[in-house]
Amino acid sequence: MFIALYICLVILWLGKMAEKSYEEEHPTKAFGWAARDQSGVLSPFKFSRRSTGEKDVRFKVLFCGICHTDLHMAKNDWGMSTYPLVPGHEIVGEVTEVGSKVEKIKVGDKVGVGCMVGSCRSCDSCNSHLENYCPKMILSYASKYHDGTTTYGGYSDIMVVDEHFLVHIPDNLPLDAAAPLLCAGITVYSPLRFFNLDKPGMHVGVVGLGGLGHVAVKFAKAMGVKVTVISTSPKKKQEALEHLGADSFLVSREQDEMQAAMGTMDGVIDTVSAIHPILPLISLLKTQGKLVLVGAPEKPLELPVFPLIMGRKIVGGSSIGGMKETQEMIDFAAKNNITADIEVISMDYVNTAMVRLSKADVRYRFVIDIGNTIKI
């Protein structure tokens, strides 16, 4: 009995010492909410940020979107999480301090940070403005920074980020509804541009009407593209057509509808992260059409080769975008009044929001009001 009590006290003491080290790792005190283990439950967490370096920007976090990745990472669903883990990579706020060599950002500016805060800056990808494909890309959280310390995300009161990995948020974009564009927005904008599915008069399908899908519809429509939403749920038809402005709607389980649309689309953006058949989607493509996967199912999908060969069709993938393209996306969104459809929540509601997110019970993105509701 005594030995067991002693072990428990030692574990408790080590935990307290670890918490203290997180607070003292860097000079600038910070506060956020972190997951401590695979339960994924988030709770208040005191830690620290580095001092503002000569090329760094420090900003007060005002809003942070909740991405499905945050849920997976909090629970270590992908086997790559490290704890304590402060999620958040759809981060917007107001600049409070800039380093001596910062050139494009000033105190008071509204800025955003997406999925990455660093890269090698010298490889072919980085030199081509594709930092998101750098082998040494540093994620906004649960990653190792250049100095060897752990990165912590936007469920926190402040961020310190290299100027290169910030985007400027135009004044006409509301910060809360712009935050999800830094992940969901660029995830769908980039493949529309890269795969040349952005030409007026083209016909593009969007599979799934969630956090990614609803902004894909908005971006494609702003580019002048004809958009068909493809969903398993007929209940989303009115939403897709009347609210989001899609041109048509297909229920993927209705074979007659799918067959009638065969060979009509120049491309399909597939945002679904669940296991699903892709042969019906390939069948929707015209000759030389492109199916682009941006969702990330946990298990491999079955890829039928024969339909690809017979129609010179392409199945590709895409992951966010480089910093130049991310700024381009934000500017395009501001010009065309594109924002995410959001539900703003308080910081202490985050665990409930995670449960709801796991059940797809959100329309279409939770955004945490960090600036007004995070409390030490």
Q: Which residue has the tokens 């393209």?
A: 325
Predicted confidence (pLDDT) at residue 17 exceeds the cutoff of 70: no
Count the residues in the chain. 376
Host H or E run for residue 366: strand 365-369
pLDDT tens digits for 259-293? 999 999 999 999 998 899 999 999 999 999 999 99
pLDDT tens digits for 82-134? 999 999 999 999 999 999 999 999 999 999 999 999 999 999 999 999 999 99
Predicted confidence (pLDDT) at residue 222 exceeds the cutoff of 60: yes
Predicted confidence (pLDDT) at residue 46 exceeds the cutoff of 80: yes
Residue 276 · residue 230 · CB < 8 Å: no
Predicted confidence (pLDDT) at residue 8 exceeds the cutoff of 60: no
Q: How far apart are CA 80 and CA 318, in angstroms?
A: 20
Quote the pLDDT of residue 20: 57
**Cα distances (Å, whole numbers) of residue 20 to 28, 83, 119, 335:** 14, 15, 29, 46
> Could you give the maximum distance between any two Cα atoms of the chain, in Å?
76
- In this prediction, residues 46-58 reach a mean pLDDT of 97
**Cα distances (Å, whole numbers) of residue 108 to 95, 111, 178, 179, 323:** 5, 9, 17, 17, 21
- In this prediction, residues 74-81 reach a mean pLDDT of 93
Predicted confidence (pLDDT) at residue 299 exceeds the cutoff of 90: no
Residue 293 · residue 281 · CB < 8 Å: no
% of the chain residues with pLDDT over 70: 95
Q: Among 55, 58, 1, 52, which residue's Cα sits nearest to residue 26?
A: 52
Q: Among 304, 63, 325, which residue's Cα sits nearest to residue 192?
A: 325
Reading the block at residue 72, the tokens are 């997976």
Predicted confidence (pLDDT) at residue 21 exceeds the cutoff of 90: no
Quote the pLDDT of residue 376: 78
**Cα distances (Å, whole numbers) of residue 200 to 192, 222, 227, 303:** 12, 9, 11, 30
Confidence of residue 2 (pLDDT cuts 50, 70, 90): very low
Confidence of residue 45 (pLDDT cuts 50, 70, 90): very high
Quote the pLDDT of residue 16: 46
pLDDT tens digits for 331-358? 999 999 999 999 999 999 999 999 999 9
pLDDT tens digits for 170-194? 999 999 999 999 999 999 999 999 9
Predicted confidence (pLDDT) at residue 29 exceeds the cutoff of 50: yes
User: Across all residues in the chain, what is the average pLDDT?
Assistant: 94
**Cα distances (Å, whole numbers) of residue 207 to 29, 76, 249, 267, 293:** 43, 26, 10, 11, 10
